Amino acid sequence: MKFGKEFAAQMVQEWQEAYMDYRKLKSILKDILRFKQQNKAPPLAMAAAAATNGSLKRRASLYRAFSGLTNRYKSVSPMKNNEDEVILVSSVQEGDVEGDYQTMFLRSSEVGGEFELLFFRRLDDEFNKVVRFYKKKVEEVMAEADELNKQMNALIALRIKVDNPGVVGGGTDVVDLIDNGFSSNSSPVAHPINGGNHGWTQMDVIQEIEMSSEGISEEVKEADDRHFRPASLDVLDHVKINVELETPIATLRSVIKSSKSDLSFSRQELRTAEEKISQAFVEFYRKLRLLKSYCFLNQLAFSKIMKKYDKVTSRNASKAYLQMVDKSYLGGSDEVTKLLGRVEDTYVKHFANGNHRKGLKTLRPQAKKERHRITFLYGFFSGCSIALIVAIIVNIHARNLLKSEGRDQYMLNIFPLYSLFGYIVLHMLMYGGNVYFWKRYRVNFSFIFGFKQGTELGYREVLLLSSGLSLLALAGVISHLDMEIDPRTQSFRTLTELIPLFLLIAVLSITVCPFNIIYRSSRFFLIRCAFHCVCAPLYKVTLPDFFLADQLTSQVQAIRSLQFYICYYGWGNFRERSNTCGESEVYKVLYIVVAIIPYWIRFIQCLRRLFEEKDVAHGINGLKYFSTIAAVAIRTIYQHQQEKTTTWLVLAAVTSGIATMASVYWDIVVDWGLLNRNSTNPWLRDKLVLPHKGVYYVAMVLNCVLRLAWMQQVLGIQTVPFLHNTALVAVVASLEIIRRGIWNFFRLENEHLNNVGKYRAFKSVPLPFYYACNGDKSMMN
């Protein structure tokens, strides 16, 4: 693989704009090479160079920024009295602060020198951009390290207080901390009474662990004791704690009073604090690793591009420039490397009981391996499913079941039972396709959804689950194609009629199964998000929660199928394939309610976000869902009328039209970020993931058409006379699921690009302790 592709593949996608633009610099080198190939006549070239020597020098100055009269140039690559010297790299300084780097090209008088001047100007721009970004990120991790330092001070003190309730005071009274390999630094907040060395930062606590490790000599330990002291318990007098789990009860309690409370010194409190700080260390370590990778990849990219420059121009400029790179902050800074070692030591000692392998396994989760058996199984299940579909079609045609007397009875009673599994399988297939294209176009969906690293399902796993479920459902269908009632008992076989119920119970049992089988982590993640949706607005709304609620709005017919299951097997006569669900007023009311529930969840989620974030857009989004609730209720009432009136038809059409137009606009403009008039891509957005712009236009048109198809069906307009009405409902419901699958891709693409624009590559980790004198400043973002 060429370096350019490998470089792009290993980028942190949210930071991609902060990396060196290797492709742009390479294109300039191609221009230089093309110019040299077109100008191979040395005599004429030298003559032209002599004639335009003065103009070239003037043009060369245009490519160098004016440094001012007070700036000083610090020569990183001292100019030697050597005819082979090509460049002189300097650092512009303002006072004592080191500024940007500038490269002086010393061969500007040669033919084609302006191209090389342009190359070095672009090279300097890219290098300064990388150094500025790297400096900023290092400063951020240093600040976070200092915050973790304070958190560890409080945690160690809390551990001592909980394990030894009789211990009071601080200072040298707490001697077991050193025995545990940890010695806390003195800080202005941690030791307000005893004093000490103030202003220590940057993971001093972690550094003390290394100083007190087994591999250090006694002399070093004695010298270290003169500078470091055991953790003081006085820190507990100046911190508050927020370790209460987010539950509906806790949310209601926080409305009445602040959830942040004083320490109670309970073991549950200690355990929760340890879990939060442990998660913070894992995320912090991941950030450090990615930052180190960013540094290494950019250094490698500058090395590659300079060697390519030497090859194209037959010069020897890479050595001087790479020496500057090595001496710069990018190449000479070692804060990240040191922090990596200190974080490892801290985590192993205090969160893994000294087990180095266990600690590193948590800090460095292994990438999920692709297994051939998964590919084989989903291929096998898919093939079997296709064979069953063919068998069902042949069976229906051979037995002429479409003209059977029991056709209507089967479509009204059995078809809705199996269509539930069809909706689920179709949605899983769409999600599998989404995962495939997200990965192909490097949309970081696992970070956006907040999946634990290594547990996210790939498209193969999703296809395996969907093909397995389709195989079971189709096997049930082919064994349930009996249209003839037993003339002797005037009933169908009980076991056959219970197949859909058995299949539903099996699916629900596997979903909630507590054992570590069939992707337990993903199943529990789904259950947790579903529970948050049901309990809305008592939980803080996160992207996975409202994303799942949006999926449920496209599964209204599946939810109604669940309602039919309860009615059919609870109050219907399933042995005779008959039910009176449609005649029950309670069932009709619930038919409306269950369709409203997903939209109601999204409505109150929008209200919760409006209350927390004070963003009017969430209120407008809530009004959109409220209009959909009104439209669904009115058109469902219209559908169930015995004698349909014009008034209800007009109300249903108007409310459905308003809701549809509002939804289409929100989908395309807000959720997808398209239809931007001033965009560089006409009526799209400035940044696109897909290389073909036509896909976006097709997606917008499909979204409009499928929204209108959904509105047309619910108004009861019969457009396909040869289809049974129940089958038509299923077809239109499937079109809505397909529309949602298309929406999913572009919605997450837009979210990913927003993260890229803000360089947001890490999730926020709340820390348990906050200092009373600093407010909430110790909460980690």
When comparing pLDDT for 12 and 167, which is higher? Answer: 12
Q: What is the mean pLDDT of residues 563-586?
A: 89
Rounded CA separation 62/42 (Å): 26
- Domain membership flag for residue 494: yes
The pLDDT value given to residue 4: 86
Please report the sign of the dihedral spanned by the C-alpha atoms of residue 37, residue 39, residue 43, residue 46.
negative
When comparing pLDDT for 584 and 559, which is higher? Answer: 559
Rounded CA separation 261/242 (Å): 6
Which amino acid belongs to residue 70?
T
When comparing pLDDT for 50 and 315, which is higher? Answer: 315
CB-based contacts of 164, cutoff 8 Å, min separation 6: 176
Closest CA to 669 of 621, 609, 706: 621
Q: Which tokens hold the place of 317?
A: 């400029």
Angle at 595 between CA 591 and CA 600, to 5 degrees: 130
Rounded to whole angstroms, what are the CA distances from 161 to 154, 193, 600, 699?
10, 18, 47, 60
The SS3 of residue 491 is: strand
Q: Which of 588, 617, 646 is the last residue of a domain?
A: 646
The pLDDT value given to residue 587: 92
Same domain (yes/no): 457, 595: yes
CB-based contacts of 171, cutoff 8 Å, min separation 6: 194, 229, 230, 232
Q: Supply the angle between the helices 585-613 and 520-534 in degrees, to the nearest 10.
A: 90
**Exposed/middle/buried for 27, CB within 10 Å: 0-12, 13-18, 19+?**
exposed
Q: Which of 622, 646, 670 is the last residue of a domain?
A: 646
pLDDT value at 573 more than 80: yes
Q: What is the mean pLDDT of residues 88-111?
A: 70
Same domain (yes/no): 254, 376: no
Structural domain including 174 reads: 164-265
| Cβ atoms within 10 Å, residue 162 | 18
Our count of domains for the chain comes to 2
Average pLDDT, the chain: 80
pTM value is: 0.81
Given a contact cutoff of 8 angstroms between Cβ atoms, the answer to whether 762 and 280 are in contact is no
Same domain (yes/no): 257, 376: no
Closest CA to 438 of 50, 12, 748: 748
Given a contact cutoff of 8 angstroms between Cβ atoms, the answer to whether 209 and 182 are in contact is yes
When comparing pLDDT for 443 and 639, which is higher? Answer: 443
Given a contact cutoff of 8 angstroms between Cβ atoms, the answer to whether 444 and 13 are in contact is yes
pLDDT value at 584 more than 90: no
CB-based contacts of 285, cutoff 8 Å, min separation 6: 340, 343, 344, 347, 363, 364
Q: Which tokens hold the place of 414?
A: 């059995």
Q: What single string gives the DSSP state of each residue in 266-314? A: -HHHHHHHHHHHHHHHHHHHHHHHHHHHHHHHHHHHHHHHHHHHHHHHT
Rounded CA separation 393/747 (Å): 37
93: confidence class by pLDDT, cuts 50, 70, 90: low
The pLDDT value given to residue 376: 94
Q: What single string gives the DSSP state of each residue in 644-696? A: --HHHHHHHHHHHHHHHHHHHHIIIIIIS----TTSSSTTS-S--SSS-THHH
Q: What is the 3-state secondary structure (H, E, C) of 378-427?
A: HHHHHHHHHHHHHHHHHHHHHHCHHHCCCHHHHHHHCHHHHHHHHHHHHH
Same domain (yes/no): 618, 500: yes
42-73 pLDDT, tens digit per residue, is 543 444 444 444 444 444 444 444 444 444 44
Give the start-end residues of each E strand in 198-254: 239-241
Which amino acid belongs to residue 650?
V
- Domain membership flag for residue 684: no
Angle at 702 between CA 700 and CA 707, to 5 degrees: 100
1: confidence class by pLDDT, cuts 50, 70, 90: low
Which amino acid belongs to residue 147?
E
Alpha helix stretches (DSSP H) within 442-584: 445-449, 459-478, 494-497, 499-511, 520-534, 543-553, 556-570
User: Between β-strands 72-75 and 239-241, what pairing exists: parallel, antiparallel or unpaired?
Assistant: unpaired
Q: What is the mean pLDDT of residues 597-624?
A: 94
pLDDT value at 258 more than 80: no
Q: Is the peptide bond before 487 cis (omega within 30 degrees of 0)?
A: no
- Domain membership flag for residue 348: no
528: confidence class by pLDDT, cuts 50, 70, 90: very high
Of 137-146, 497-506, 617-626, 764-773, the least confident:
764-773
385: confidence class by pLDDT, cuts 50, 70, 90: very high
Of 108-122, 315-329, 347-361, 587-601, the least confident:
108-122
- Domain membership flag for residue 139: no
Of 125-139, 656-670, 713-727, the least confident:
713-727
The pLDDT value given to residue 186: 35
Q: Residue written as tokens 């400096």?
A: 135
Give percent of the chain above pLDDT 70. Answer: 78
DSSP annotation of 263 reads: -
Rounded to whole angstroms, what are the CA distances from 257 to 243, 252, 776?
15, 9, 16
Most confident of 182-191, 261-270, 519-528: 519-528
- Domain membership flag for residue 775: no
Q: What is the mean pLDDT of residues 434-455?
A: 90
Given a contact cutoff of 8 angstroms between Cβ atoms, the answer to whether 602 and 625 are in contact is yes
pLDDT value at 252 more than 80: no
317: confidence class by pLDDT, cuts 50, 70, 90: confident
**Exposed/middle/buried for 186, CB within 10 Å: 0-12, 13-18, 19+?**
buried
737: confidence class by pLDDT, cuts 50, 70, 90: very high
Which amino acid belongs to residue 626?
F
Of 94-108, 125-139, 279-293, 668-682, the least confident:
94-108
Of 34-43, 218-227, 422-431, 580-589, the least confident:
218-227
Of 59-63, 272-276, 657-661, the least confident:
59-63
Of 285-289, 302-306, 353-357, the least confident:
353-357
When comparing pLDDT for 441 and 234, which is higher? Answer: 441
Closest CA to 110 of 24, 188, 32, 5: 32
The pLDDT value given to residue 156: 87
The pLDDT value given to residue 198: 37
Q: Which tokens hold the place of 158?
A: 């809390």
Backbone phi, then psi, for 368, in 5-degree steps?
A: -70, 130
The pLDDT value given to residue 304: 93
DSSP annotation of 643 reads: S
Q: What is the mean pLDDT of residues 624-647?
A: 88
Q: Which of 265, 285, 302 is the last residue of a domain?
A: 265
Rounded CA separation 61/189 (Å): 54
Rounded CA separation 577/493 (Å): 11
Most confident of 73-87, 461-475, 569-583: 461-475
Closest CA to 136 of 342, 297, 330: 330
Please report the sign of the dihedral spanned by the C-alpha atoms of residue 710, residue 714, residue 715, residue 721.
positive
- Domain membership flag for residue 391: yes
The pLDDT value given to residue 68: 42
The SS3 of residue 316 is: coil
- Domain membership flag for residue 117: no
CB-based contacts of 422, cutoff 8 Å, min separation 6: 473, 730, 734
pLDDT value at 461 more than 90: yes
Bridge-partner residues for 486, per DSSP? Answer: 491
- Helix and strand totals (H; E) in the chain: 29, 5
- Domain membership flag for residue 558: yes
Angle at 108 between CA 107 and CA 114, to 5 degrees: 130
Give the helix/strand (H/E) hosting 462: helix 459-478
Angle at 638 between CA 574 and CA 630, to 5 degrees: 105
The pLDDT value given to residue 273: 86
Q: Supply the angle between the helices 335-351 and 113-163 in degrees, to the nearest 10.
A: 20
719: confidence class by pLDDT, cuts 50, 70, 90: low
Write b or e for each residue in 485-503: b if 16 or more Cβ atoms lie within 10 A of its Cβ, otherwise e.
beeeeeebeeeebebbeeb
Rounded CA separation 42/111 (Å): 10
Q: What is the mean pLDDT of residues 94-114?
A: 70
Angle at 422 between CA 708 and CA 715, to 5 degrees: 25
For the chain, the farthest-separated pair of C-alpha atoms sits apart, in whole angstroms, at 112
pLDDT value at 183 more than 50: no
